[in-house]
Chain A
Amino acid sequence: MIAIECRDVVKRFKSVTALDHMDLTVEKNGIFGLLGPNGAGKTTLIRILTGLITPTSGTCRVMGTDVGDTDSDHRFGIGYLSQDPKYYPWMTGRELLFFVGRLFGMPLADIRKRADELLAMAGLSQAADRKIGGYSGGMVQRLGIAQALFHQPEILFLDEPVSALDPIGRKEVLEFIASLGEGMSVCMSTHILADVERICSSVAIMDEGKVKLVGRTEELLAGVSGGMSLISFASAADAEKMGAQLDLQGVPHVLEADRIRIAADLFEEHRGVILRSAADGKLRLSTITRERADLEEVFVDLIQGGRTYGKR
Chain B
Amino acid sequence: MNKTLFTADLRAHWSLFLFIQLVLLLYGTISVYMFDPESVDALVNMLQVLPENMVKAMGFDNLSTDLTQYIAGYLYGFIMIIFPIIYIAILSNNLVAKHVERGSIVYLLTTPNSRVRIALTQALYLLITLAVLIGVLTGVVLIMCASLFPGMLDVGRFLLLNLVTFLVLAVVSGIAFFGSCAFDETRWSTALGAGLPGLMFILKMISELNEQLAWVRYLTVFTLMDSENVLAGGSFVTTAVIGTAAAALLLFAGGIALFNRRSLAV
Contacts and interface: CB of A to CB of B under 8 A. Distances in A.
A196 to B, nearest CB: 23
Contact of A104 (B103, B104, B112): B112
Contacts, number: 68
A86 B8 contact: no
Top 10 closest pairs, chain A to chain B, by CB: A102-B4, A53-B263, A103-B111, A86-B102, A86-B104, A72-B112, A80-B110, A75-B112, A82-B106, A72-B114
Given A86-B103, A88-B8, A52 B264 contact: yes
A181 interface: no
A47 B184 CA distance: 15
Interface of B: 2, 4-5, 8, 11-12, 102-104, 106-114, 263-264, 266
B110 A50 contact: yes
Query: Interface centre among A80, A103, A104, by most B CB within 10 Å?
Result: A103
A53 B264 contact: yes
A104 to B, nearest CB: 6
A76 B8 CA distance: 21
A75 B106 CA distance: 12
A100 interface: yes
B264 to A, nearest CB: 6
A80 B111 CA distance: 10
B184 to A, nearest CB: 12
A75 B266 contact: no
8 contacts: A13-B263, A52-B264, A74-B112, A75-B112, A79-B110, A85-B103, A85-B106, A148-B110
Contacts of B11: 88, 90
Interface in A118-162: 147-148, 151
Given A85-B107, A86-B102, A47 B266 contact: yes
Given A47-B266, A99-B8, A76 B106 contact: no
B266 A82 contact: yes
A38 B144 CA distance: 64
A53 B41 CA distance: 63
Query: Interface centre among B11, B12, B108, B110, by most A CB within 10 Å?
Result: B110
A82 B12 CA distance: 22
Interface of A: 13, 47, 50-54, 70, 72-76, 78-80, 82-88, 90, 99-100, 102-105, 147-148, 151
A105 B110 contact: no
Nearest to B262: A53
Contact of A52 (B2, B109, B113): B109
Contacts of A79: 110
Nearest to A75: B112
B12 A147 contact: no
B8 A105 contact: no
Contacts of B103: 82-86
Given A88-B8, A103-B5, A52 B112 contact: no
B263 A54 contact: yes
A103 B106 contact: no
A74 B109 CA distance: 12
A298 to B, nearest CB: 31
A103 B108 contact: yes
B117 to A, nearest CB: 8
B119 to A, nearest CB: 13
Given A88-B11, A99-B8, 13 more contacts: A72-B112, A72-B114, A74-B112, A75-B110, A76-B112, A80-B106, A82-B266, A87-B107, A88-B12, A99-B4, A103-B4, A103-B113, A104-B111
Contacts of B104: 85-88
Contacts of B5: 103
A210 B12 CA distance: 41
Contacts of B114: 70, 72
